[in-house]
Chains A and B, each alone.
Chain A
Amino acid sequence: MAASLEADRIAKAFGATLALRGASLHLQPGRVHALLGENGAGKSTLVKIIVGALAPDAGALRMAGRPVVFRSVREAMAAGIVPIHQHLSLFPHLSVLENLSAFALGCTRRAAASSALLPRAEAAARLETVGLHLDLDQPVAALSLGQRQLLEIARSVGRECRVLVLDEPTAALNHSEAARLFEVVRRLCAAGTAVLFISHRLDEIDAVADDVTVLRDGRAVIAGTPRSHLSREALVRAMLGTAVAAATRHLPEPGAPVLVAAGLRPGPGDAPADCVVRAGEVVGLAGLVGSGALELAAALAGARPAAGQLHVAGRRLPPGDRQQAVALGVGYVPGDRHAEGLFPVLSALQNASACSTRGLAPAGVLSPAREAARMLPWLRRMKLHPFLPAMKARTFSGGNQQKLLMARNLAIDGLRVLVVLEPTRGVDIAARETIHDAIADIARQGVAVVLATSDLDEAMALAHRVLVVRHGRIAAEILRGAARTNLLDALAGQAAA
């Protein structure tokens, strides 16, 4: 049988970083193909190329044997490749029926909306294929996230849907919603659709995948092997490789407690968390997407309102009060660089000094000379490249933008605690090394560091101990030097149970 979609020897580079080095992926109709890989393995780049969001540097895409070129997501969708991801392309203000008919409304040449809408019976039938029973006239804003995801699938399957791309579809779903989604996926497969399924959760891969491709360093190390031929250990080994052996950095002996959280609950569904971070200690917070690890880290930095108590060096920090937190010397590098961290139109220097304006401007008068004198060493230390502090932050590469955020927080006066979220996501190797060095350095200077990351190498290489967060509670503590598979099991192994 001809493959629904073949991506052949795809290569893609971002600047000096090779994200993909000739990775191939063959999707068969009627089968669920799981795509696995650690962060930075090139997974998301490959998915973006398949759905038309990126153009490959080299390699070819073929659908049913014929070469295709997508210049936009819209073109890929028109060809029958349907991406479903976190930020949904539904219209919250419109009804379920209108959302189901969105493609027809977008392309029709008729004047009356009613003639472009699906017949109600057909709309109900489409909802039925994904197991939804909804009032067709209800606005989409009133649906739960899981319902919206299923609705988006229903909207697409009605059209010609030859390849369904599910990018971490269960991240925001609860257990029963996820189960329903898998049921729908299997039903679609039975009807001949090819499904590309990207997930970090091994138990989900066990549950739905027929074939597996594992990417590492931009290459497919397992290419389309049937799931039944692979053990879980084989998958993990393929993902991690043997040569990863990241340089483990020297870390100091922890000192006195600095950051003390008691009964901290970042969200109403989370269990109260207690934790103590000592001076010079790096505590990893690991968890799969949606586990609550990032939220807990943000709450520890006072960046998110939460119930419970926080103390920094013996002084109370009201949760959610970043002003007070900065005054107490709590740095925070957010996980979403663009939405929460960067000031894109301001210069690199101004980005770096954002937390330190009070110290730079005694009596409110800002001296550019003093600002440069105080901030440039930090930028040099973070190896900003190109070293143009007056250039706008948005013109730097992702890695260098991340360095700016690090520099901003390292420069805080009287830094006691540094909370870092996903510091090396989408960052090249060299920048990653620089950032890791900086984290280890600052710990040696007696700062308490909280490192929330989904990159296990990072957690293992940098943290004295890793707290594993699952379903909003601290579920395990893995000490430095433990086997990496222990951590993996703690993260994913029991998620199905």
Chain B
Amino acid sequence: MTALALPLPVRSAWRRWRPGAAAWTTLGVFLLFAVLVPRFASSGNLVNVLRVAAILCVAACGQAIVLVLGGIEFSFGSSAALASVVGVLAVPWLGPAGGLAAGGAVVIAIGALNGALIAGFGLPPFVVTLGMLMAAAGAAASLVGGQPIDAPPSAAFAWPAAGSVATIPVPILLGAAAVTVLHALLSRSRLGRLWYLAGANPVAARLSGIAVGRVTFLGYLVAGAFCAVTAVVLTSRVGSGQPNLAPNLPFESIAACAIGGIPLAGGEGRAHQVVCGVLVIAMMNNAVVLLNFPIAAQQLVMAVVIIGAVLLQNAGSLPVMLRRALTRRPNA
């Protein structure tokens, strides 16, 4: 009964923020690299880590919303590619800022289309976003004949990736803003609560008077908006329309959420878990580069970390499973 001594909002806030497995993993990885990897803990390098993490983080925030809804979103990568191509092509008409905005609008439109197909017709998210992944990639490539096109050099175009506000790089600001917005949405907004409810049990949500279809649609739409920010920063960074801009974006964003401990079954997931997962991926990528590992080894390490981190989430049941795996089946 001592637990009741604290007023409930405080206790629930503590529960929400209690550092979970994901946070400890992140801290452990950080300390490990800080000790083992030379130059890792220098401030210049850490800013670099953050800068890379921030770009992925924004898209992973969008992915987290979709995962909370019990869905999955594969179309991020190629919609970002389409955004960069459209953005660069639009620069002559709309100017650099307008071009980037047009690119972002494309990503949001694709998110809305995904949401409409999934929510309106009950199509499986896997199939819809996979199809959209291919269609958007094809559209991006066909617009520019498969070749990258350069954007006319301009400060405005480069600003989202290279600019800074009060010495803080813009991507890091955007990443922080995205996490803040995600946290506010998930824990302090009605819409976020409805995402949790619809993801945890869609039937019960419908019977509780929730417009599950509309809520799902809005989820994919907002996820698209997050990805649009990532797409704008990536386009600005490469300074060109790349039909093959970020092929691994959907996979990395899913991996970041999974490492952070967001289950893919829906109804669970918080902003800080996204941050943890993204940081682990970014630190690892950075460390293997500092250690001069070949790309091959980087990818192997990444694979081990993804699978290992998700296995760790269910560490409790692992011994049972292993025993079952290693014994012959009974009464065959």
Q: Do the two chains touch directly in the complex (Cβ atoms below 8 Å apart)? A: yes
Most central of A367, A369, A376, A387 by chain B CB within 10 Å: A369
Give min CB distance, A234 to chain B, whole Å. Answer: 42
Given known contacts A326-B209, A390-B12, A343 and B190 CB-to-CB distance under 8 angstroms: no
Docked pose: A244 CA to B265 CA in angstroms: 44
- Contact: B267 with A366, CB < 8 Å? no
Q: How far is the CB of B61 from chain A (nearest CB, A)?
A: 19
Q: Are B15 and A390 in contact (CB under 8 A)?
A: yes
Whether B208 lies near A326 (C-beta < 8 A) is yes
Quick one: which of B4-45 are within 8 Å of A by CB? 4, 8-9, 11-13, 15
User: Which residues in A have their C-beta under 8 angstroms from that of B193?
Assistant: 350, 353, 357, 361, 366
| Chain A residue at minimal CB-CB distance from B200 | A343
Main secondary structure of the interface of B (DSSP, over half): helix
Given A345-B268, A372-B8: A361 in contact with B206 (beta carbons within 8 A): no
Q: How large is the interface on B (under 10, 10 to 19, 20 to 34, 35 or more residues)?
A: 20 to 34
In the complex, which residue of chain A has the Cβ closest to the Cβ of B332? A107
Which residues of A in the span 67-120 have a Cβ within 8 Å of any Cβ on B?
75, 78, 107, 109
Give A156 to B187 CA distance when docked, in angstroms. 52
| Contact indicator A365/B201 (Cβ below 8 Å) | no
Contact B194 A322 (CB under 8 A): no
Most chain A CB inside 10 Å of its own CB: which residue of B189, B200, B204? B204
CB distance from B204 to the nearest CB of A (A): 5
Q: Does A364 contact B (CB under 8 A)?
A: yes
Return chain A residues, CB-CB under 8 Å to B4: 387
Say how far A110's CB is from chain B's closest CB, in angstroms: 13
| Chain A contacts for B204, CB-based, 8 A | 334, 339-343, 354
CB distance from B71 to the nearest CB of A (A): 16
Interface string of B315-332 (1 = CB under 8 A from A): 000000000000000011
Taking the nearest CB of chain B, how far is it from the CB of A406, in angstroms? 13
- Does the CB pair B197–A346 fall under 8 Å? yes
Q: Is A355 an interface residue (CB 8 A)?
A: yes
- Measured CB to CB, the nearest residue on chain B to A337 is B204
Q: Once bound together, how far apart are the Cα atoms of A388 and B6, in whole Å?
A: 12
User: Shortest CB–CB separation between residue B307 and chain A, in angstroms?
Assistant: 23
Q: Mark A273-307, 1 if CB is under 8 A from B, else 0.
A: 00000000000000000000000000000010000
B-side contacts of A390, CB under 8 Å: 8, 11-12, 15
- Closest residue of chain A to B184 (Cβ to Cβ) is A365
Determine the residue in chain B with the shortest Cβ distance to A334. Answer: B207
Bound-state CA distance A27–B325 (Å) is 38
The 0/1 profile, CB within 8 Å of B marked 1, for residues 316-330 of chain A is: 000000110111000
Chain A residue numbers with a CB within 8 Å of B8 are 372, 376, 389-390
What is A's interface to B at a CB cutoff of 8 Å?
75, 78, 107, 109, 303, 322-323, 325-327, 332, 334, 339-346, 349-350, 353-355, 357-358, 360-361, 364-369, 372, 376, 387-390, 408
Q: A327-B209, A364-B189 are in contact. List 8 more A-B contacts (CB 8 A).
A: A322-B208, A355-B209, A361-B189, A365-B189, A368-B12, A368-B13, A376-B8, A408-B208
A-B pairs, top 8 by smallest CB distance, nearest first, are A326-B209, A361-B190, A343-B200, A345-B267, A354-B208, A364-B190, A322-B209, A369-B9
List, sorted by A's number, 10 A–B pairs whose CB atoms are closer than 8 Å. A323-B211, A326-B209, A341-B204, A345-B267, A345-B268, A354-B197, A354-B210, A355-B209, A365-B189, A368-B9
